[in-house]
Amino acid sequence: MGRHSAVKTPRGATMGAGKATTAAGANGTAADGEVVARAIDLTKTYGDKDSQVVALDHVNVEFMRGQMTAIMGPSGSGKSTLMHCMAGLDKPTGGKVIVEGLDVSAMNQRQLTKLRRDQIGFIFQSFNLVPTLTAEENILLPLQIAKRPIDRAWFDKVVDVVGLRSRLTHRPSQLSGGQQQRVACARAIMARPSVIFADEPTGNLDSHSSREVLGFLKNSVREYGQTIVMVTHDPRAASYADRVLVLADGRITQDLRHPTYDEILEVFAGEGDEVEDGPQADATSREGAE
């Protein structure tokens, strides 16, 4: 299936993915497709007046449905804070977060819990599976907690795509890191959330498993119009994304559309450890993007 052909959204409506032909401005405003989540003048500061840290400095950005966006930048540049504010895990100091037209920044705890349960999927570096549950039980747990019906046909499809068919009765300790992360991906995708936030999803994986997990995430974007926002330090992982945002000092400094691995490397050239090759350093081409 072509990268830009019509795709099914997670909630079933058909839409055109639409390629952005021009890069958006440095404030991250996109000109194509349907907006799933947006930050408006988003600010987050920590500490008091004397020792204030500005983690996010008036960030404006839109995340489009059916796109995979990578967020990169040096340690301390605000990547986690942006993701946590977008996901309703952290309260902004100023500005707004809108997800599916809902003002997340104005929600109370009960509304936030519902938002995270119904609209948002998470994938963490450390997998975050329940150790006493099997792979299948882990994948289905969020739906069961939400008392939502389980679509067995969708479950079968997801399980086959992530290649977990023969591992469904295994507990996390009986699975490799790559398999555990595939369970976490399946769990996130099973609920068909509006947006999946992935925090260094390949940070603990070897190069082979990383490619598998990234390929699978990319596939869920292409085939099912899933929206993914992924924080990563790894240029190779970022090269799978449709768009790469670069943060520095709490601001978006670059907004790249379909950058190649080399183009991403160039952004960080001369910045020491931020250009280190990630776990996929053995690969030489932009394998994930095509």
Residues that bind ligand ADP (CB under 6 A): 46-47, 53, 55, 73, 75-81
Kindly state the smallest distance separating residue 102's Cβ from ligand ADP, in Å: 23
Kindly state the smallest distance separating residue 25's Cβ from ligand ADP, in Å: 21
Residue number with CB closer to ligand ADP (81 or 180): 81
Residue number with CB closer to ligand ADP (46 or 208): 46
Kindly state the smallest distance separating residue 105's Cβ from ligand ADP, in Å: 17
Residue number with CB closer to ligand ADP (6 or 53): 53
Residue number with CB closer to ligand ADP (13 or 53): 53
Residue number with CB closer to ligand ADP (65 or 79): 79
In SS3 terms, the chain reads as CCCCCEEECCCCCEEECCCCCCCCCCCCCCCCCCEEEEEEEEEEEECCHHHCEEEEEEEEEEEECCCEEEEECCCCCCHHHHHHHHCCCCCCCEEEEEECCEEHHHCCHHHHHHHHHHCEEEEECCCCCCCCCCHHHHHHHHHHHCCCCCCHHHHHHHHHHHCCHHHCCCCHHHCCHHHHHHHHHHHHHHCCCCEEEEECCCCCCCHHHHHHHHHHHHHHHHHHCCCEEEECCCHHHHCCCCEEEEEECCEEEEEEECCCHHHHHHHCCCCHHHHCCCCCCCCCCCCCCC
Kindly state the smallest distance separating residue 96's Cβ from ligand ADP, in Å: 18
Kindly state the smallest distance separating residue 241's Cβ from ligand ADP, in Å: 17
